[in-house]
Amino acid sequence: MMHVVATAGHVDHGKSTLVRALTGMEPDRLEEERRRGLTIELGYAWTTLPSGARLAFVDVPGHERFLATMLAGVGPAPAALLVVAADEGWMPQSEEHLVALEALGLRHLLLAVTRSDLADPGPATVQALERLAAGGLADVEAVAVSGRTGAGLADLTAALDRLVARLPAPDPSAPVRLWVDRAFTVRGSGTVVTGTLPAGRVAVGDELSLDGVPVRIRGLQSLKEEVESVTGVARVAANVRGSFTRGTALIDPAGWTMTDLVDVRLSPAAPSLEETALPAEVTAHIGSAAVGCQVRPLDGKVVRLRLARRLPLHVGDVLVLRDPGRPRDRLRVLAGATVLDLRPPPLGGRGSARERAAWLADAPGAASLLRTHRFLTTAQLAAMGVTPPGAPVAGEWHADPELWAGMPDRLALAVEGYGARHPLDPGMPLEAARQALYLPDRALVQALISPPLAVADGRVVIGAPTLPAPVAAAVSRLRAELTESPFRAPEADRLAALGLGSKEIAAAVRAGALFRVCDGVVLLPGADRQAASVLAELPQPFTVSQARQALGTTRRVAVPLLEHLDRLRLTVREGEGLRRCAPASP
């Protein structure tokens, strides 16, 4: 079992010294850092706790100039070790770092009061615990320690063991998102990217995506040990092809939504910022990424962020918003921003921003998303990081329940309206119904079909087809003529005189009022079976001419009618130009 803890605290309060004392490793990687005694870049070290759990530290710089680097280190970590020096107490960067942790929503902290060999740790401990309690962290454990003499290190190690034992268990099946906090080249291997894997599983051979580029994991290390696979939480080094930088993310592309536009709810980072409006441009931090973004207020504490580049995000992710242009004596971490929607709709005219903010009043989740987007697939919801609210309504589609409940009535009205506008059409085409109801898939139309609605030949119909009164009257006149001569189909000019054009005939055939033998030849329904009975009385086999005479019709009608009977297997061809009626079924 591995855990990852990031350090936090004011510059020169002994964070790196403490990590060095706990692990026996040098977290400062740069020569300049060791020469100046100042952490500039992220450092990494690890140890084994008394419980046997392995603990990796991400050591962050404390200087205010490197706040962005600090956020890159603590962003992916599930817990933090807050360091305050006994001889200096609570300092400006102590506040800025804690504000950043609070904005991230990080609740698992341990307080280490360092330099206890130089001053009484009591006052600094009380001061720090009071500040933590004011931020809702009243149960943080505090340990006095000296990294120089080693006093209190055993107590600190035991406290770290208790801290990590309280951390929630990561989900090994979660989609992978590893924010790259370091990228470098190894001779003979190529590019190596490192980061903290909070959950999920990465294995050699996996096909993932890094900065939108498909990559294959060629090799893996965790704490400098070669591994075939690793599950979160863990420090990971992955060997891939390509050139990448800090702030990119190694992801399972199906598990995340890539977006550069999000609606978020703000949580001001400090009471003094409650009424402070965000500037028009800020820097958004998540994981190791730092991205410029434009701010559009919607209403109150709900804003829309336009990110400078696309990031892989989930609903519920927290971005830390920072104003790097604020004076150094003022907090630059302004707010945490909880992602509410990853695909926000365009805003319309006056009042649309406030309406959108009201729409987002509920907690983020599937219900809120479906209210906005109406229909989302199981895969789309998963990529947004939310659990589907129940079974799909059709295929993989989920729908807003209130909207879906009213859809059958809307479909019936649409079909009725279509029938009124197109009286000779047999019904409303499925595609037309989909468009009329603004549905993303025809399968959703099919799912709405129930009596009296039905689907026939790709069209939605209401009950049995009916004919407009003029067409029904024309068919009635034709029926009277065919009753006397049932196989003498009228010519085209006679049909036209009766008021039966091609559309009217098609409607009558679909309604079952006429039987079309072929184009231009129509008879009454059942005429084919009646013809077969007449032909059965002829000497078998018979010719087309004999059939024509028996039926009292013309060759124009007899030939296609006989071909139709052949297809029904009521007649069978026999020799050149001969047919015989098929034996009656027993």
Q: For the domain that residue 99 is a member of, what is the CATH number? A: 3.40.50.300
Question: CA 357 to CA 398: how far, in whole Å?
Answer: 23
pTM: 0.78
Counting residues of the chain whose pLDDT is more than 70, the rounded percentage is 94
Which domain CATH number covers 356?
2.40.30.10
Quote the CA–CA distance of 459 and 441 in Å, as a whole number: 15
Segment among 62-76, 107-121, 447-461, 462-476 with least mean pLDDT: 62-76
* Last residue of one domain, picked from the residues 416, 445, 462: 462
pLDDT value, residue 465: 63
| Bridge partners, residue 283, by sequence | 292, 322
pLDDT-derived band at 272 (thresholds 50, 70, 90) equals low
Question: At which of 208, 224, 253 does a domain end?
Answer: 253
Residue 142 lies in a domain: yes
- Asked if residue 388 is part of any domain, the answer here is no
CA distance 577 to 78: 88
Q: How many domains does the chain have?
A: 5
User: Cα–Cα distances in Å, from 539 out to 140, 312, 487?
Assistant: 106, 81, 20
Distance CA 540, CA 544 (A): 12
What are φ and ψ of residue 74, in 5° steps?
Answer: -85, -20
* Cα–Cα distance for residue pair 208/230, rounded to 1 Å: 15
Range with top average pLDDT, 90-104, 445-459, 525-539: 525-539
DSSP assignment of 5-34 equals: EEEEESTTSSHHHHHHHHHSS----SHHHH
Residue 265 lies in a domain: yes
Q: What is the dihedral of CA 389, 393, 395, 396, to 10 degrees?
A: -20
Q: Are residues 6 and 155 in the same domain?
A: yes
Confidence of residue 27 (pLDDT cuts 50, 70, 90): low
Task: With a cut of 60, say whether residue 40 has pLDDT above it.
Answer: no
Residue 394 within a domain? no
Which residues fall within 8 angstroms of residue 574, CB to CB, at 6 or more apart?
541, 580
Q: How many CA atoms lie within 13 A of 44 on its CB side?
A: 18
136 & 57 share domain: yes
DSSP notation for 81-102: EEEEETTT-S-HHHHHHHHHHH
Please give the pLDDT value at position 36.
41
Residue count of the chain: 586
Are 559 and 574 in the same domain?
yes
The alpha carbons of the chain give a radius of gyration, in whole angstroms, of 38
pLDDT at 33 over 80: no
- What pLDDT score was predicted for residue 31? 43
- 519-532: per-residue pLDDT in tens? 889 999 889 989 99
Question: Is pLDDT larger for residue 553 or for residue 324?
Answer: 553
- Of 234, 253, 272, the residue that ends a domain is 253
Domain check: are 108 and 139 in the same one? yes
Beta bridge partners of 164: none
Domain shared by 49 and 110, yes or no: yes
pLDDT at position 28: 53
Q: How far is CA 36 from the centre of its chain?
A: 47
pLDDT-based confidence at residue 95 (cuts at 50, 70, 90): confident
Confidence of residue 37 (pLDDT cuts 50, 70, 90): very low
Q: Tell me which residue of 557, 548, 559, 473 sits closest to 515, measured CA to CA.
A: 557
| Cis peptide preceding 560, ω within 30 of 0 | no
The C-alpha atoms of residue 476 and residue 504 are separated, in whole angstroms, by 13
Section 513-520 average pLDDT: 88
What pLDDT does residue 100 have? 87
* Nearest C-alpha neighbor of 360 from the set 315, 322, 398: 315
pLDDT tier at 278 (50, 70, 90 boundaries)?
confident
Distances from the Cα of 170 to the Cαs of 165, 179, 299, 431, 521, in angstroms?
A: 12, 16, 35, 45, 74
- pLDDT at position 360 over 90: no
Which has the minimum average pLDDT: 1-10, 109-118, 502-511, 547-556?
Answer: 502-511
Q: What's residue 319's pLDDT?
A: 94
For the packed helices 555-567 and 527-536, what is the interaxial angle rounded to 10 degrees? 90
Place of tokens 């190690």: 157
- Do 444 and 512 sit in the same domain of this protein? no
Residue 494 belongs to a domain: yes
Residue pLDDT, tens place only, 378-404: 999 999 999 988 899 999 999 999 999
Pick the most confident of 91-105, 323-337, 383-397, 469-483. 383-397
pLDDT of residue 35: 41
Beta bridge partners of 516: 522
Paired tokens of 6: 């990031």
The CATH number given to whatever domain includes residue 502 is: 1.10.10.10
What confidence category does residue 273 fall into, taking pLDDT thresholds of 50, 70 and 90? low
Judged by average pLDDT, the poorest of 67-71, 182-186, 210-214, 527-531 is 67-71
Tokens coding 506:
């098609």
Whether 325 is in a domain gets the answer yes
Mean pLDDT calculated for residue range 408-429: 86
Residue 412 Ramachandran class (φ > 0 left, ψ -120 to 50 alpha, else beta)? alpha
Q: Mean of the pLDDT values across residues 165-194?
A: 90
What local confidence, expressed as pLDDT, does residue 34 receive? 43
CB 6 within 8 A of CB 80: yes
195 and 147 together in one domain: no
Least confident window among 20-34, 162-176, 218-232, 324-338:
20-34
Domain range enclosing 20? 2-165
Given a contact cutoff of 8 angstroms between Cβ atoms, the answer to whether 84 and 97 are in contact is no
Which parts of 325-466 are beta strand (E)? Answer: 333-341, 375-377, 397-399, 428-429, 453-456, 459-462
What is the predicted pLDDT for the residue at 10?
83
β-strands 79-85, 109-114 pairing: parallel
Q: What is the rounded average pLDDT of the residues 314-323?
A: 93
Residue 258 pairs with which residues in a beta bridge?
A: 312
Q: How far is CA 178 from CA 190, 199, 350, in A?
A: 19, 9, 41
- The predicted pLDDT at position 38 comes to 40
CA distance to 5, 364, 444, per residue, from 381 (Å) = 31, 12, 17
The pLDDT of residue 305 is above 50 = yes
Q: For position 441, which CATH number holds?
A: 1.10.10
At 113 the pLDDT is: 95
Euclidean distance between CA atoms 313 and 317, whole angstroms: 7
Do 451 and 487 lie in one domain? The reply is no
Determine the pLDDT at residue 426: 74
pLDDT at 171: 93
Directed axis angle between helix 544-551 and helix 527-536, to 10°? Answer: 110
Q: Per-residue pLDDT for 261 more than 60?
A: yes
**Is residue 29's pLDDT more than 60?**
no
Q: Are residues 441 and 486 in the same domain?
A: no
Q: Is residue 396 part of a domain?
A: no
Give the least confident one: 105-109, 175-179, 435-439: 105-109
Helix (H, G, I), strand (E, B) or coil at 181: coil
Residue 22 lies in a domain: yes
Q: Which helix (H) or strand (E) holds 130?
A: helix 121-134
140 and 72 share a domain?
yes
Mean pLDDT of 102-113: 91
Shared-domain flag, residues 406 and 455: yes
Same domain, 491 and 573: yes
For the ranges 117-126, 322-331, 570-579, the lowest mean pLDDT is seen at 322-331
Q: Which residues of 227-237 are buried (b: 16+ CB within 10 A; e: fewer)?
A: beebbbbbbbb
| Average pLDDT of the segment spanning 478-483 | 87
